[in-house]
Structure 1
Amino acid sequence: MKKMLQWIKDHVSYFKTIFIFSVVVIVFRELLSISKTISFEQLGAIFQDLAIWKIVLMFLIGLIAVSPMIGYDVILNKILKQKPKKIFLIESSWMINTINNIAGFGGLVSIGLRSEFYGKEKDGKMVVRALSKILIFLMSGLSIYSLIAFFIVMFGHTNDYLQQYWIWLIGGGLYFPVVIVASLIKKDEYIGDIDHSTRAGLILTSFLEWTGVLGSFILIGMLMGVKMNPVQIIPLFIAASVIGIVSMIPGELGSFDIMMIVGLSTLGIDREVVVVWILLYRLFYYIIPFMIGAIFFVKNLSHSLNTRYSGIPRELTTELAHKFVVFLMYFSGIMIVLSATIPEAFSQFSWLKKFNPLSFHLITQLPAILLGFLLLIMGRGIAARVKRAYLPTIGLILITLVYTFFKDFSWGVIVFLSLLLVIIIFSKRELFREQLVYSWEMITIDGIIFLALTILYIVIGVYNLPTFPHHKRHFISFFLFPSEKIWFSGFIGICLVTLFSYLFIRYLEGKKHTIGTPLDEERALNLLTTYGGNTDSQLIFLKDKDMYIYTDQNNEDTVLLQFKTLNNKCVVMGDPSGKKEDFSAAVEQFINEADQWGYLPVFYEASEEVVMFLHEFGYDFIKMGEEAHVDLPNFTLSGKKMKSERAVMNRFTKENYRFEVFSPPFSNELMQELKQVSDEWLGSRKEKGFSLGFFSESYLQRGKIAVAKNQEDRIVAFANIMPTYTKEEGTIDLMRYSKEAPSGVMDYLFISLFNYMNDEGFTYFNLGMAPLSNVGTSKKSFIQERIAYLVYEFGSRFYSFRGLRDYKEKYASEWVSRYTLYSRNSFIAYVMVVLLILDNAPIEKQKKMHGVRRILRNRYQR
């Protein structure tokens, strides 16, 4: 049970997302249901018969009827002891209540939304207790009216139809006294712990809410001129509402409408009048208030997003508007392509003729569709510069030439295709790639083009169906085909093209070849010990990445790169290791070999030095964060700034805690003790890696381990010291502590490590990177950095970026920028998605997908 609760707690953000998404789906679905019951022509006729003042009055009645529900939110915030701004409270409350009116489910939707809007800054149990008090009193108003309606039915003058619903009315009426008694008797925190003023406020709010619901229905009927007796209407309306609530049907649709139509008809009201009455009630009580709530939602959402993401959403909207203008410019180019698909349009409309410089007619539909789409497919191979695309493309163009010559001779088309053929023949040297790696960027572009053309063709086919009304045939007659058989032959062509597309892509891909080699521990270690490394070099021994080794003219290994491949991206972790003089040559060789096999390198967390020479290779870069360095010779605990750190060290010394450093090899007993500490630190989380180590005995056996021991000589925290193969820079990788470790143990371990490494002769200590520190915050920043910041902000549920920066700030004497570099042929959004995947997936997924696509690990478990 504890594990289940912990799992739910760890994944609460996912449940919130699912809840919000579910509410959106439910609301959208119910709006569609309501819209089916509303005829706009009928509404137009109704409003023509109603005086303007009556329509305005109905509008005001609907708004006033919804207003009492704001009282729930006022009371909730009073219980939570928080005072939100009045405008925020009113807008949020209106939005929550109008959404709940549409979605229904007995008020459960409103409870979930209130938790999301008002409970973020409060303890979860406190919010649940407050919401439980609201929930139990939501239906008290309906229950009071049920009792009133019961007495009207049993002792008043009602017809026989209403008599049958006495059981529902008494059932609904019993809810209120039961809730009152329970709240008075029970002494628990969820129902009984409520003062008299709060109880009275909730009951009054619920009563006013249902007075508004009932009153709006009756008043709208009166304004319509319906002759009725309200005493007869009240029991029917309340009984229909109780049945709708019990069934938990969203918006009480269906059961409420049917019961009201039948019931009001038995009271002598014309059925058509009843339908109009319910229609106006739905419009003024549900739809219009909801639309106002939607306006509040958009307002708050846009303000929240712009505040949270430093105005990026507004900038992106402006950028999209600019892209739309560019799209209109490209529209003229698209017209040329459409002239081959719907040539009659260019004949009928003179303004379209100006966009048709080339007449291209292929008279038989099946070959035309086949050749047109196949040229697009071959175009992908040529665009990707794949050798295998050369001969098939030439063959297809020759077939098209022959077909055009015999079937639809046109000098313009012959010259155009001949010129295209000559260009491809003489461009053979440009096709240098050995395989196609079908990237997400390619899939996106091809998918848009193929989907758009296919949908257009299907729409034309539907338009040509005999059953399709052609009352506007004079306007879009160019969509008409000579016969359905001709269109169907073209559709078969599209199906064949789909199959051929798959086969041709597979042909271009060939037998998949990857670059680099699996880890050769001896070879990698020899290179690092000979030429040195950096703070990321040791990560190669995690065995979750491939290695690429550059060999110089003397056939000696001098440079090591560690990377992982996902889709067409080879993500290199950190700076190259080894002989610095060969870095440029090694990186150039790696880029060229990757390009030959269709891959695009991405250099992750690279230094400014790497940025400088990679920029010469046409790479764009974005800043990913800043790395904290501690000046070890000058580090001191003296001074006001380090007062709290001094206190930590004094406390641990007084309590007889000890700092020790063990050297490998380590005993099984020590490894088991470290494993226990690591497991306690992880809890329900999963191990992650790629840019940070995970608990692996073979990995930990490669370096020293620093531990903190308590008075009983038990290890309560540890950190593995990463070999950097240099005396200049020291750092650690895993830093974990057990449940019994006291607060401040991380500071104790860090300060002890600073002193230890200073004694060992290191110049500075690398505390690691603070991701997104000072990235994309300025309006003058590159748009790529602004987008990257936005992507990572959406991934903030994985990690608290600002907290890490603040923690390292107290020790750091210098901040060094780190960058991600990527090819200009990559979409920045896809680059960031690849980094998120590689940096955030648990290592268990790697084991399941070994040899296919290893989805890798999280960087920042510090």
Structure 2
Amino acid sequence: MKAILQWFKNRAGFFKTVFVISVLFIVISELLSIGKTISFEQLKMIFLDLPIWKIALMLLTGLVAVTPMFGYDIILNRTLEQKIKKSYLFETSWMINTINNIAGFGGLISIGLRSEFYGKETDGKKVVKALSKILIFLLSGLSIYSLLSFIMVLFGHDNGFLSQYSIWLIGGGLYFPIILLLTAIRKDEYIGDIPLNSRLQLMLTSFLEWTGVLATFLLIGKLMGIPFHTAQVIPLFIAASVIGIISMIPGALGSFDIMMILGLSSLGSIPRETVIAWLLLYRLFYYIIPFLIGVVFFLKNLSSNLNDRYSGIPRELSIELSHKLLVVLMYFSGIMIVLSTTIPEAFNQFHWLKQLNPWSFHLLTQFPAVLLGFSLLIMGRGIAARVARAYLPTIGLLLLTLAYTVFKDMSWSVVILLTLLLIFVIFSKKELYRKQLVYSWEMKTVDGIIFSVLMVLYVVIGVYNLPAFPHHQHHVISFFLFPSERVWLSGFLGILITAMFMFVFIRYLQGEKRTIGEALDRDRAMKLLKTYGGNTDSQLLFLDDKDMYVYTNSFEEETVLLQFKTFNNKCIVMGDPSGAKEDFTDAVEQFIHEADIWGYLPVFYEVSESLVLLLHEFGYDFIKMGEEAHVDLANFTLSGKKRRADRATMNRFDKEDYRFEVLSPPFLPETMAELKAVSDEWLGNRKEKGFSLGFFSEEYLQLSDIAVVKSKADDIIAFATIMPTYNKAEGTIDLMRYKQDAPSGVMDFLFISIFNVMKEDGISYFNMGMAPLSNVGTSRKSFIQERIAFLVYKFGTSFYSFQGLRAYKNKYASSWVPRYTLYSRDSSIIYVMIALLIIDNAPIDKTTKQLHGIKKILKNRYQR
């Protein structure tokens, strides 16, 4: 015997799985069977005849009737000495009891489910003992009602039909006293040994359970206006229930219904069709709807278990999927409603189109239909953008639409769709976390296409239907014809009102239009760079054409600095972060999170490979933007055949008495004026550009050394600003300017002289800057994003010329280091590249240059 028990114990997991699958199979089978007995057309007719308050009362009664069964689970957990959360007890008890109502089998299903949900942390033998004590009292309430029903038949008015079921009532009535006697006499640990207090509570629970069942059935009949004698219906109902349970047919389906139809038809003048409708509503409100709620609880508990087992991934995936499905349904519904009002006859002529659209002809007039359709599209935008402000308006719109559908033109397909939308909205609430909507180009493109096509289609068809339009000269597609101009006009009025509503709602979603980061604070930025170091892009921050984002570590120290510019919904970060490398990960994560909360998408422009690996972990895609030329200063020399031309250039400039000098700030006004004259001559009619390049700004130039080439007359003919990198590893320059009459090779002379100076200062290598699109998108096997980027830049050459740049830098480069741009997967690569072109090639006017280095007091920073 022990061996057999051990064999079952070793395979407990397998048997549990078989049990759960069996229950699911039984439940699905019974739902299909019940579904066959339910006529949705008949339900529709019944609901149309009943006031909404009666339907609500039926629903409330059916839900309340389930609650007494919680007592079984409360007593069970108290017997097992378990303390579980009230919410878990409520959900699991509801689920177990409603499944048992559908599945039946004399309560055996509920015992198995209770063992699964409440017996995991307890000894198996103890669970079996507790469950056996619960099981025997499950039918005590029905037994009490059987005795009462027998008395009612015996002493009440009976036409002979009920008396034939007296034997079933007597048999059912004997169950309660027999169980009461057995539990009092026997002292074994399975049936006996039940405290009197627990026995009374179990009997009361069972009695209240069957009181709820009986009350639901009777109240539904009364609300339907059916005339019947309660004293006759109660015995019939109880006898039918006893027969159904003894047969162990799931849900007593079939035997219960047949007996009730025959019995109620013979007891009075109730038509059979009315009895069927009565039973239909009873099954709907006591069985189906509570069971569906139980399914929701089941899925919630199942998802929680799976979520705990797999580190939260299932919940994230389900919420993401629910959100995407919600967006699709919102847009689909909105488009279909507008189309059904624009070309209504198309939904009559094409059966597949009518099947696809649950909204057709269920909204009474053109005006509310158009208004509703476009409103759903607008709400869909807020949901798609994950804006928290869209949650309550979307719930309100769906409830309003649901109420309109129920009261005006009842349609089960629309009710089901709206209910699904409501569920998805509620389930997706955690996905609606953004504090504002930043209406991006991507959003405007999608919405613009949808709205424009629908509006233009509506207007064009309206014009086409004007009486003055010569239809006889054209082949007219019949479904383009409106029933009347008045119908079209009401819809057009709806479009105009919706357009105003769209503007107001988009503005509402935008909130306070807050940006992230802060304006340049020179002192804080300089302190951070000098303390923790920077890179070849750090100095660009002091152009003051960008904002800064400062990360503070756990010790309240500012350790990392990012410089970026906000354009549309994109925060374009220039280069790698500056500061303490050990905090880069936390700083970047915090920056991405804050940007996401406020509706922005960071784009990291011209960053190194190390940042690519970091950002890829945050779900960013990347494209190669080009390569950066590095000169190995330690090994740089002019000796050798390869450098013969460079030696000749240096010798020529020495013979002609050109001098190289490094000037240090502060610079005198005369020096600055001379540098500006060189810069203006070099620029000619061209405009200064900023962001990733320095421009001539006195405040900016006063922050760094400047390498100059002077003529014999001591005039500056060329200069380059030496950009501080705040580290000894690399050096670089920023502005490079020369006069038009400067001798050829002046920039070579300037570069080589800078190489020599930096080599003497112990700098490891010189960064000559980017060669954009160097080896990018040229192969047929390249990423499609890089191919697209290549095309965008190809057509953007009118803004900036890249030709010959790599060839020139290659003369000195010891190595080429790739640089990348990373962007969120929610961004369109085309719009990312356009944004980069605009922001990186935007001209700097004189007014802007005068403002750089000065606090922009008048700028609207109060929002931040």
Give the TM-score band, short-chain normalised.
0.5 to 0.7
Question: Hey, what's the Cα distance between the residues in 1 that align with 2:691 and 2:382?
Answer: 33
Going from structure 1 to structure 2, the CA distance change for 1:480 and 1:740 (only over 3 Å counts) comes to closer
Question: Hey, what's the Cα distance between the residues in 2 that align with 1:611 and 1:465?
Answer: 60
Q: Deviations over 1:621-678 (max 9, x none)?
A: 1111000000001111122222221111110011111111122222222112211211
Q: Deviations over 1:242-298 (max 9, x none)?
A: xxxxxxxxxxxxxxxxxxxxxxxxxxxxxxxxxxxxxxxxxxxxxxxxxxxxxxxxx
Identity %: 73
Match of residue 791 from structure 1? 792
Question: Hey, what's the Cα distance between the residues in 2 that align with 1:593 and 1:522?
Answer: 24
What is the identity, as a one-letter code, of the residue corresponding to 1:618?
G
Going from structure 1 to structure 2, the CA distance change for 1:666 and 1:846 (only over 3 Å counts) comes to closer
Q: How far is the alpha carbon of 1:406 from its aligned partner?
A: 2.1
Match of residue 349 from structure 2? 348
Say if 2:532 is the partner of 1:517: no
Going from structure 1 to structure 2, the CA distance change for 1:383 and 1:466 (only over 3 Å counts) comes to same
Q: How far is the alpha carbon of 1:344 from its aligned partner?
A: 2.7
Match of residue 501 from structure 2? 500
What SS does structure 1 have at the residue aligned with 2:639? Answer: coil
Q: Is the 8 A contact 2:334 2:374 kept in 1?
A: no
Say if 2:645 is the partner of 1:668: no
Question: Hey, what's the Cα distance between the residues in 2 that align with 1:387 and 1:404?
Answer: 27
What SS does structure 2 have at the residue aligned with 1:817? Answer: strand
Q: Is the 8 A contact 2:529 2:579 kept in 1?
A: yes
Number of residue pairs matched?
525
Match of residue 824 from structure 1? 825
Match of residue 740 from structure 1? 741
Q: What are the residue-to-residue correspondences of 1:123-522 with 2, within 5 Å?
A: 338-339=339-340, 341-350=342-351, 352-353=353-354, 355-356=356-357, 359=360, 361-471=362-472, 476-522=477-523
Q: How far is the alpha carbon of 1:741 from its aligned partner?
A: 1.5
Question: Hey, what's the Cα distance between the residues in 1 that align with 2:394 and 2:336?
Answer: 25
Question: Hey, what's the Cα distance between the residues in 1 that align with 2:339 and 2:367?
Answer: 17
Say if 2:777 is the partner of 1:776: yes
Going from structure 1 to structure 2, the CA distance change for 1:331 and 1:472 (only over 3 Å counts) comes to farther
Question: Hey, what's the Cα distance between the residues in 2 that align with 1:724 and 1:422?
Answer: 55
Match of residue 578 from structure 2? 577
Q: Is the 8 A contact 1:433 1:597 kept in 2?
A: yes
Q: How far is the alpha carbon of 1:336 from its aligned partner?
A: 9.1
Q: How far is the alpha carbon of 1:470 from its aligned partner?
A: 3.8
Q: Is the 8 A contact 1:722 1:730 kept in 2?
A: yes
Q: Deviations over 1:341-380 (max 9, x none)?
A: 5343232234545645665521201111111111110111
Q: What are the residue-to-residue correspondences of 1:1-16 with 2, within 5 Å?
A: none
What SS does structure 1 have at the residue aligned with 2:345? Answer: helix
What is the identity, as a one-letter code, of the residue corresponding to 1:636?
T
Q: Deviations over 1:402-443 (max 9, x none)?
A: 221222211111121122112212322211111110000000
Question: Hey, what's the Cα distance between the residues in 1 that align with 2:515 and 2:333?
Answer: 42
Q: Is the 8 A contact 2:338 2:454 kept in 1?
A: no
What is the identity, as a one-letter code, of the residue corresponding to 2:734?
D
Q: Is the 8 A contact 2:343 2:481 kept in 1?
A: no
Q: Is the 8 A contact 2:391 2:432 kept in 1?
A: yes
Match of residue 724 from structure 1? 725
Question: Hey, what's the Cα distance between the residues in 2 that align with 1:373 and 1:332?
Answer: 9
Q: How far is the alpha carbon of 1:800 from its aligned partner?
A: 2.8
Question: Hey, what's the Cα distance between the residues in 2 that align with 1:735 and 1:754?
Answer: 15
Question: Hey, what's the Cα distance between the residues in 1 that align with 2:368 and 2:332?
Answer: 27
Question: Hey, what's the Cα distance between the residues in 2 that align with 1:618 and 1:349?
Answer: 44
Q: Is the 8 A contact 1:658 1:708 kept in 2?
A: yes
Question: Hey, what's the Cα distance between the residues in 1 that align with 2:465 and 2:485?
Answer: 7
What SS does structure 2 have at the residue aligned with 1:436? Answer: coil
Q: How far is the alpha carbon of 1:455 from its aligned partner?
A: 1.5
Question: Hey, what's the Cα distance between the residues in 1 that align with 2:736 and 2:560?
Answer: 29
Q: What are the residue-to-residue correspondences of 1:22-37 with 2, within 5 Å?
A: none
What is the identity, as a one-letter code, of the residue corresponding to 1:641?
K
Going from structure 1 to structure 2, the CA distance change for 1:473 and 1:384 (only over 3 Å counts) comes to same
What SS does structure 2 have at the residue aligned with 1:833? Answer: helix
Q: Is the 8 A contact 1:659 1:709 kept in 2?
A: yes
What SS does structure 2 have at the residue aligned with 1:630? Answer: strand
Q: Is the 8 A contact 1:359 1:412 kept in 2?
A: no
Q: How far is the alpha carbon of 1:805 from its aligned partner?
A: 0.5
What is the identity, as a one-letter code, of the residue corresponding to 1:750?
F
Question: Hey, what's the Cα distance between the residues in 2 that align with 1:463 and 1:701?
Answer: 69
Question: Hey, what's the Cα distance between the residues in 2 that align with 1:435 and 1:333?
Answer: 23
Gap runs ≥5 in structure 2: 1-330
Question: Hey, what's the Cα distance between the residues in 2 that align with 1:490 and 1:335?
Answer: 14
What SS does structure 2 have at the residue aligned with 1:796? Answer: coil
Match of residue 174 from structure 1? none
What SS does structure 2 have at the residue aligned with 1:716? Answer: strand
Q: Is the 8 A contact 1:708 1:716 kept in 2?
A: yes
Going from structure 1 to structure 2, the CA distance change for 1:694 and 1:785 (only over 3 Å counts) comes to same
Q: Deviations over 1:422-477 (max 9, x none)?
A: 22123222111111100000000000111111122112212321123444999632
Q: Is the 8 A contact 2:624 2:786 kept in 1?
A: yes
Q: Is the 8 A contact 1:360 1:413 kept in 2?
A: no
Q: Deviations over 1:588-625 (max 9, x none)?
A: 10000000000000000011110011011111111110
Question: Hey, what's the Cα distance between the residues in 2 that align with 1:354 and 1:656?
Answer: 89
Q: Is the 8 A contact 1:664 1:702 kept in 2?
A: yes
Match of residue 767 from structure 2? 766
What is the identity, as a one-letter code, of the residue corresponding to 2:505?
F
Question: Hey, what's the Cα distance between the residues in 2 that align with 1:814 and 1:360?
Answer: 70
Q: Deviations over 1:814-842 (max 9, x none)?
A: 00000111111111111111111111111
What SS does structure 1 have at the residue aligned with 2:451? Answer: helix
Match of residue 535 from structure 1? 536
Question: Hey, what's the Cα distance between the residues in 2 that align with 1:431 and 1:671?
Answer: 54
Going from structure 1 to structure 2, the CA distance change for 1:821 and 1:510 (only over 3 Å counts) comes to same
Question: Hey, what's the Cα distance between the residues in 1 that align with 2:649 and 2:640?
Answer: 14
Question: Hey, what's the Cα distance between the residues in 1 that align with 2:350 and 2:846?
Answer: 58
Going from structure 1 to structure 2, the CA distance change for 1:500 and 1:845 (only over 3 Å counts) comes to farther
Going from structure 1 to structure 2, the CA distance change for 1:845 and 1:592 (only over 3 Å counts) comes to farther
What SS does structure 2 have at the residue aligned with 1:633? Answer: helix
Going from structure 1 to structure 2, the CA distance change for 1:846 and 1:437 (only over 3 Å counts) comes to farther
Q: Deviations over 1:203-243 (max 9, x none)?
A: xxxxxxxxxxxxxxxxxxxxxxxxxxxxxxxxxxxxxxxxx
Q: Is the 8 A contact 2:341 2:369 kept in 1?
A: no
TM-score of the pair, normalised by structure 1: 0.59
Q: Over aligned residue pairs, what C-alpha RMSD do you find?
A: 2.5
Question: Hey, what's the Cα distance between the residues in 2 that align with 1:838 and 1:829?
Answer: 14
Q: Is the 8 A contact 2:337 2:373 kept in 1?
A: no
Question: Hey, what's the Cα distance between the residues in 2 that align with 1:588 and 1:344?
Answer: 54
Question: Hey, what's the Cα distance between the residues in 1 that align with 2:437 and 2:352?
Answer: 42
What is the identity, as a one-letter code, of the residue corresponding to 1:676?
A
What SS does structure 1 have at the residue aligned with 2:661? Answer: strand
Q: Deviations over 1:688-723 (max 9, x none)?
A: 211111111211111111111111111111111111
Q: Is the 8 A contact 2:550 2:559 kept in 1?
A: yes
Going from structure 1 to structure 2, the CA distance change for 1:624 and 1:691 (only over 3 Å counts) comes to same
Question: Hey, what's the Cα distance between the residues in 2 that align with 1:381 and 1:500?
Answer: 14
Match of residue 554 from structure 2? 553
Runs of at least 4 residues off by over 6 Å = 330-337, 472-475, 848-854
Going from structure 1 to structure 2, the CA distance change for 1:448 and 1:562 (only over 3 Å counts) comes to same
Question: Hey, what's the Cα distance between the residues in 2 that align with 1:697 and 1:331?
Answer: 57
Question: Hey, what's the Cα distance between the residues in 1 that align with 2:404 and 2:479?
Answer: 24
Match of residue 119 from structure 2? none
Question: Hey, what's the Cα distance between the residues in 1 that align with 2:477 and 2:551?
Answer: 64
Q: Bigger radius of gyration, 1 or 2?
A: 2
Question: Hey, what's the Cα distance between the residues in 1 that align with 2:755 and 2:695?
Answer: 23
Match of residue 12 from structure 2? none
What is the identity, as a one-letter code, of the residue corresponding to 1:806?
A
Going from structure 1 to structure 2, the CA distance change for 1:333 and 1:447 (only over 3 Å counts) comes to closer
